[in-house]
Structures are given as C-alpha cells and as structure tokens.
C-alpha cells in the first residue's frame, strides 16, 4: 500500500515538475535572478512561496471540486481548460 501511495506522489511531483519547466513563471524567475542587484536567495524564496501558495489554492479548490465532480469529469474539464487557454494564446 505504501509503495502505491509513493508512486502517486511521484506522479504528482513529476507532472508538476515537467509542467513548470520553461513556463512563464520559470522564465520570469530566471529574469529576476539574472539581475545582479537582486538576492538570489530572495528570488528563490519569493518564487517558492508563490508556487507554494498557488499550489495550496489548487489543492483546496481541487478537493472541493473532487467532492462535486468525479475525477474523470474533472480531468476532462482541466483538459478543456488547457485547450481553451492554448487557443486563446494562439489567436489573441
């Protein structure tokens, strides 16, 4: 049972890690860190805090949505949301 739970957490870690690579948040953090006048530790802590807070919000909302929608429907809604954002980015 513990191995199954760890695999689930590993899947969460890998999914979030890969999704964050090269996204706008990471690029913004890179730009701030490139400024020689800014503390790199400060940039790291601010970026990590922002990601932690946004993840907390997602978990709270996900828990509430999960009580209302079956996981399969939630995945479809999330997928459609990603497609909608992608189309908006392409055609705006």
**Over the stretch 75-85, which tens digit does the pLDDT of each residue have?**
898 889 889 98
Q: 75 lies in which domain range?
A: 2-91
What residues contact 62, with CB distance under 8 A and at least 6 apart? 74
Structure-block tokens of residue 3? 């191995």
User: Is 43 in contact with 29 (CB distance < 8 Å)?
Assistant: yes
Total domains in the chain come to 1
State the average pLDDT for the chain: 87
State pLDDT tens for residues 30-48: 899 999 999 999 999 999 9
């Amino acid at each position: 049972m513990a191995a199954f739970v760890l695999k689930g957490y590993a899947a969460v870690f890998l999914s979030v890690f890969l999704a964050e690579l090269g996204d706008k948040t990471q690029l913004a953090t890179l730009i701030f860190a490139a400024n020689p006048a800014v503390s790199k530790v400060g940039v790291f802590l601010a970026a990590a805090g922002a990601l932690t807070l946004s993840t907390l919000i997602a978990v709270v909302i996900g828990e509430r949505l999960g009580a209302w929608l079956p996981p399969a429907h939630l995945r479809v809604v999330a997928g459609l949301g990603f497609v909608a954002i992608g189309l908006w980015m392409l055609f705006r």
